Structure 1
Amino acid sequence: MTSGVPVIYGLGLDAAGRCQHYHLETDIAALWCEQCRRYYACYQCHDALCQHAFVASTPLSLAVMCGACRYRMTVTTYHLGYCPHCHRAFNPRCRLHDRIYFGADCE
């Protein structure tokens, strides 16, 4: 953490955690790697920056962080499709990667 604000790791990030791979207005969900114990903009950024593949978080952990306001949430809360704190929408297509981020038993 820097100045009390949780850090999002990735390549070519903007202030809301959008990276060089995913940079639409709604691409603001940062994902927790259980091995690194850090939030990454996406699994591709993680895999480019680390010596191991992304390790899925547990469904009950604070597996997702909103890049807009840095609110941390569970997978169930993330699946609402928006941040409950700042009400910004998440990209619904990110659910295509649920198995990578949350494992096979994610919901």
Structure 2
Amino acid sequence: MWMKRIFPHVIGIELDPQTRCIHYRSRLDIISIKMKCCGLYYACKDCHAALADHPAQVWPCSEWAQKNVLCGACGAELTTQEYLDSDNQCSACNAAFNPGCHNHYHFYFEAK
């Protein structure tokens, strides 16, 4: 029996069904991050800056075991550590993630 997966709510500007936003729209831009500051999923840091009423905070290394990265292809929630160790691929559905996102990790995750 096939069951439809319920995605957590994602906030962003001009979102498509896989959580791509106006800022990042390539085929591989399918992750959203639960922001540490507010506990809400945003499509990207730029959407958070435009829509939230507060500055973003980074996830400390001590909290990398929490599920806070969402795969827009299947709706799986990954821990920060799972995402960082994923080799740019969802562990649940094997969808490819944008390898260029590593350039933005410092906006979301504390450096080790």
Secondary structure in 1 matching 2:67: coil
| Percent of paired sites with the same residue | 37
2:74 aligned with 1:61: no
| Aligned-pair CA distance for 1:61 | 1.6
Give the aligned residue type for 2:54: H
CA contact (8 A) 1:32 1:101 kept: no
Counterpart CA distance in 2 for 1:21 and 1:36 is: 21
> Aligned residue for 2:97?
90
Counterpart CA distance in 2 for 1:40 and 1:87 is: 22
Q: Which runs of 4+ in 1 moved over 3 A?
A: none
> Aligned residue for 1:32?
34
Structure 2 spans left out of the alignment, 5+ residues: none
CA RMSD of superposed structures (Å): 1.5
Task: Give 1 or 2 for the bigger CA radius of gyration.
Answer: 2
Q: TM-score, normalised by structure 1?
A: 0.88
Give the number of equivalent residue pairs: 103
Secondary structure in 2 matching 1:99: helix
CA contact (8 A) 2:12 2:43 kept: yes
> Aligned residue for 1:12?
14
Counterpart CA distance in 1 for 2:31 and 2:6 is: 19
| Aligned-pair CA distance for 1:4 | 4.3
> Aligned residue for 2:23?
21
